[in-house]
Structures are given as C-alpha cells and as structure tokens.
Amino acid sequence: MTTHPILREREVQINDYEKVKSLFRKIRMPSESIEAWKSYRKSPALKKAGKDFPFGWVLESGNNIVGYLANIPMMYSYQGSEVFVAVARAYAVAPEYKGHGLKLALKFFKQQEVSALLNTTANEYSAAVFKYFKAKPVPQAHYNEALFLVFNSWQFLRAVFIKCKFPGSIASGTALFLAPLFKIITILKQKNTPSYLQDLFLKRVCIDNLVEELDKLWVTKREQRVFYTDRSVAMLQWRINIAPSLYHMYGAYLKGQFLGYILLKIEHVEHLKLKRCLIIDIFGDFKNDENLEVLISKLVREVQNLSVDTLEIIGFPQAIRKIVKRLLPFKRIIPTWPYFKFMTQDLKTVCQNSDFWYVSLIDGDSSL
Amino acid sequence: MDMDVQEKVIQVLINIFQVSPDKISAVTTSDNVENWDSMNHINMILALEQEFGISYDEEQAVSMLSVGEIIEATKGKLGLQ
C-alpha cells in the first residue's frame, strides 16, 4: 500500500520557480516563464493589496513540490469603485498526490482581502471545483463559442487534421488537397464587407504614445454600471509588457478624434502548428454599430498583413458578437467558461445581470 | 447504525471511484485509489452529503483523504460519536 511523506501546504515563493517548473514538466504541461512570475509580483493591482498578498500556494512533500496553484492580483472597476480580485491560474498536482489538490483550491477560496475570486479559464475539471466552493459561471451568453476567420486555408485545415489525430504527413497532404476548396468558401464568406465610412480610421498605435487618450477613456468608462477589468494605462502596460512582441494595439479615430482601441495578441499554437491572432479587447465609445462594423472590417484587413493563419474572438457581450457575426465567421466550441465568486453583498446582487459583464480574453488570466 | 454508516460510505466510494469492493476498506487512502482525484473527491463529498442528508465543512471535506477519516467525519455529523 502506497504511503507518502506528510504533505505541507504553504505560500509559493519566487525561489520555488525551478521546482514548480519541474512539476509541470513531470505532468507534461507547459510552465510559465520566470519573467511571468516576476511580472505578477509587479502588478499595479497590488497597490490595493496588503503587502502579504499570496501569489499562490504549493504542496510540498519532503524536498519536492507536488502541487501548485497560482493566485494573480487583478483590479476591476464598477461604477467608479475599484474592486480587488484574485485570479486562479496554473493549477497542477503530481498524479500520485491527485487526491490532495483540493487543499490548494481551499487556500484560494479562503484568502482574505479580496472582493472577488475569478477563474477565467475554467475547464470541466476546475469548473467542478469552483462550483463546489459556490462560485458561479459568468452569465454572459455564448462565451464558449469562439468566432473565427481563416486566412491560411492549408495551415488551418492541417491544424484541424492534427487535432483529429491524423499522422503529420497525412494531415499535411489532406489539408493541401482540400485547401483550394476551403479557400473558395472563405472568400465567398468574406465577400460581404461593410460600406466604407469616410473619416473613420484604424491605425496601429503604441500604448506609450496614447497615455492621455487612454486615461481619458478609462476615467469615463469606469463610471459605468459594468464590471470592467482595469484598463488604466498602468494596467494595460503591465499586461502588454509581460510579452510585448505578441501584442498589437490599434487605435480607432473618427475625424481625428480617438474613439477607442482594439487589442490583439498573436499566439503560436505549437502542437497544431497554427499561428492565430486573438482579439483580446475592444474598448471605447464607437458611437454606433456601423462604426464598429467598419472598424472590425478594417482590422481584418490589417490582421491579414500580420501573416497569421486565423483571427479569433472569444467572449464580449452580444451587441459586439452580433457585429462580428456579420463577417460570417466560422464557430467552434471551447471547453472553458469563466467562473466568479463575489465576497461583498452589493456585488453578489448585481452580478446576476448579464449587463454587468463585459468579459473577453483581457479578463483575468485568459491572455496572460 | 455505526456499521450501516461504514457500509454506506464504502458503497458510495465504490460507486464514485469505480473500484471493486475488495479494494476499499477502512484503511484505504486517496493515495491507493487510482480514480481518487480532486474532481471525484468532490463527487464523493456531494454523494455522501446526499446519502446521509448532511453537509461537511469545506475544510473538513477537503481533508477527508482516507476511508477511516470519512467514516469518522460522517458519524460526527450524524451525532454518532
């Protein structure tokens, strides 16, 4: 009968990095970089936390780390009030200790000083854990329905076949054979482009050159009755600087006036050999749906120049998704859904309303 | 009654972890059962709560990692100790 040394639970320290990395290697999951760990410890959200904020917990057996759950500090805003949120991330437990994983979840749910707990990438497994601790799914419809456009038919089809467990050469060959037909389908679908609007521009911008405009936008938007993740310049810079080369920000302008921005992230899906572009955020006051439709169409053209295989959008309220659907995108179901738990009664009451939410990949740790 | 509790607990565990009865006894721990992961642990807690009409504290539920501990905690909740 197997017996293990006594397990110890404690807060993670930065010098645990190598042992945590070994744990992830052991269970064949990608681990975070040390730079990411250091970035979490510099989050602007920490200005609201006590100096003892835990960045996660580990399960220790003898000299080994056999379990890990990261805890990332985030700031949200609702009607002008700041809401300090902890986000669960990177859960891992060695197979021989799999029964002990809930001890880490308990630490997460029992932490002090936070107003809300979030898991923005809850799969079937973590959703069950979150439900047990009385967290609820975000009531934003169709979050698990990703909408996407295909720019490189062959790469995309090959990725589909690889995902369907076709051997590499057969996946490539079948994709090559079907790509022309698929290309015709995508051209026909993308033929439906909106009318051109004079004086409406979308241009690549650098966040450091847009400080005044972004601050002004955030000061206005944060007063709304919507639970927004913090989009202050400091917070956006912090997020983008974790992997600056992967982010692209586009500013939207009407007659020279800044309306808002669209933030993209490039993701290399190594096992599928696919380079995809994710719409992380669409944020601003775009005046009307027609403007936003034209801006998204312009964005599609910009993204085609980035040599990516697909452009994908996940989340966002129905009003935005409706506009994206006019481009006749493909759909796929993703196995994750965001879960939340509020600690304060006022937020517990209002969060049941779907208008309260504006969840996309910029929320929580979805795109970190 | 004590025996009933033990038998019922073991029956719930057999169903949840899909193991043969000879693999579960009062000394069995999570380390010895292949399917005893966090998700099945939650399923086990929910099944036991339904079976006995009780509710475990979260801390208690998380730390019940052997059949003996589960039986003792369940008896405690039922006022049998």
Question: What are the structural domain ranges in chain A?
Answer: 7-137, 145-334
**Residue B76 CB-half CA count within 13 A:** 12
Q: Return the closest-CA partner of residue A329 out of A284, A355, A287, A299.
A: A299
A346 part of contact set with chain B, CB < 8 Å: no
CATH of A7-137, one of 3.40.630.30, 3.90.1150.10, 3.40.50.300, 2.60.40.1180: 3.40.630.30
Nearest residue of chain B to residue A99 (CA atoms): B37
Determine the average pLDDT of the residues in A46-66. 89
Min Cα–Cα distance to chain B from A235, Å: 34
A38 part of contact set with chain B, CB < 8 Å: no
Nearest to A99 among B31, B45, B59 (CB): B31
- Token code pair at residue A183: 């290309």
Nearest to A129 among B31, B42, B46 (CB): B42
> Which CATH number do you get for residue B47?
1.10.1200.10
Min Cα–Cα distance to chain A from B39, Å: 6
Complete DSSP assignment for A45-87: GGGGS-TT---EEEEEETTEEEEEEEEEEEEEEETTEEEEEEE
Q: Which residues of A touch B59 (CB under 8 A)?
A: 106
The per-residue pLDDT for range A118-160, each reduced to its tens digit, is 998 878 888 889 999 999 999 999 999 999 999 999 999 999 9
Complete DSSP assignment for A182-250: HHHHHHHHTT-PPPP-TTEEEEEE-GGG-HHHHHHHHHHHTTSSSBEEP--HHHHHHHHHHSGGGEEEE
Enter the pTM of the model: 0.90
Nearest residue of chain A to residue B38 (CA atoms): A99
B60 part of contact set with chain A, CB < 8 Å: no
Tell me the one-letter amino acid at B64: M
Q: How confident is the model at residue A47 (pLDDT cuts 50, 70, 90)?
A: confident
Q: Which residues of B touch A6 (CB under 8 A)?
A: none
Question: Which residue range forms the structural domain that includes residue B37?
Answer: 2-77
SS (H, E, C) A7-30: EEEEECCHHHHHHHHHHHHHCCCC
CATH of A145-334, one of 1.10.760.10, 3.40.109.10, 3.90.1150.10, 3.40.630.30: 3.40.630.30
ipTM: 0.88
Q: Are A7-137 and A145-334 in the same CATH fold?
A: yes
The per-residue pLDDT for range B3-59, each reduced to its tens digit, is 689 999 999 999 999 999 998 988 899 988 999 999 999 999 999 999 999 999 999
* A196: pLDDT strictly greater than 90: no
Q: Which residues of A touch B63 (CB under 8 A)?
A: 103
A103 part of contact set with chain B, CB < 8 Å: yes
Nearest to A125 among B30, B39, B46 (CB): B39
Is residue B47 packed enough to be buried (19+ CB in 10 Å), middle (13-18) or exposed (0-12)? middle
How many domains is chain B partitioned into structurally? Answer: 1
